[in-house]
Amino acid sequence: MTAPGSLTLTLWHHHDQELLRLPAVAMGSRRVGAGDPPAELAATLYHQGVRRVALDRPVDLTDRQGAATVVGWLLLLTELTSWALVVDWEVRLGPALENWRLLSHLYPPRAVLDSAGRDVGDDWREEFYLGKCMWRQGPGFVEVRDRRPGSLARYVIDDVDYLRAVDRLSSSCRADQVPAAVLDDLVSEGLVGQVGDVAWWMPYRVRRWPWGGMVI
């Protein structure tokens, strides 16, 4: 049984679901905690040859008491997506159901457990592509390119207070650790998410391009 605050990841060497039962494709499982650094974990898995990951429990955005844990799993999903890994997961969006597009840059879930009527999971899978909401860091600035709304929104952040906030939010933090005006601005633009009193930076770096450089 997976302990509270931990997940068991099942790992495969290939992304194709039809090949997962082959002995050379299965890579066993790994238990991880919500406090494990997601960027390091995702990079380690990729360099070990992992190309598909399955989470053993849903990510529940309605769990306000376990907000730090939920955000930890969202950051892990963010980092896995940034490496272009296939992720087999389920999500319960709760009140965020109508705002599912804020998460639509993440690899689409197998199921949205509280989707009723129109299945937003189908829309999510249909509209997903790598790099939908990405960021890069230059000397003294951060650039974000966000296509979640359906058209390109480009942000260049060079204000010192905002850059400090991005740095802090990249690994998540309590919302009150970011100046209120800065946080409100970033949340209103859809660049920062919140679960309970925990906030995190939503865009990801793209570390593995699926297209040629001229296409980008």
Mean pLDDT taken over the chain: 90
Identify the weakest region by mean pLDDT among 92-101, 124-133, 175-184, 190-199: 92-101
Query: Which H helix or E strand runs over 32?
Result: strand 26-33
pLDDT bracket for residue 215 (50, 70, 90)? very low
Strand spans (E) along 56-205: 59-60, 86-88, 90-92, 111-112, 133-138, 141-146, 153-157, 173-174, 192-195, 198-201
Q: What pTM was estimated for this model as a whole?
A: 0.91
pLDDT bracket for residue 63 (50, 70, 90)? confident
> Bigger pLDDT: 178 or 113?
178
Would you state the structure tokens that stand for residue 131, as one six-digit string? 């790099």
As a residue count, the chain comes to: 216
Q: Is the pLDDT of residue 173 over 70?
A: yes
- pLDDT (tens digit per residue) in 134-169: 999 999 999 999 999 899 999 999 999 999 999 999
- pLDDT (tens digit per residue) in 99-136: 899 999 999 999 998 876 567 889 999 999 999 999 99
- pLDDT (tens digit per residue) in 66-81: 999 999 999 999 999 9
Helix axes of 180-188 and 160-169: crossing angle, nearest 10 degrees:
70
Contacts of 198 (CB under 8 A, 6+ apart): 67, 68, 70, 71, 172, 173, 174, 175
C-alpha to C-alpha distance for 24 and 12, rounded to whole angstroms: 9
Q: Does residue 197 contact residue 175 with C-beta atoms inside 8 Å?
A: yes
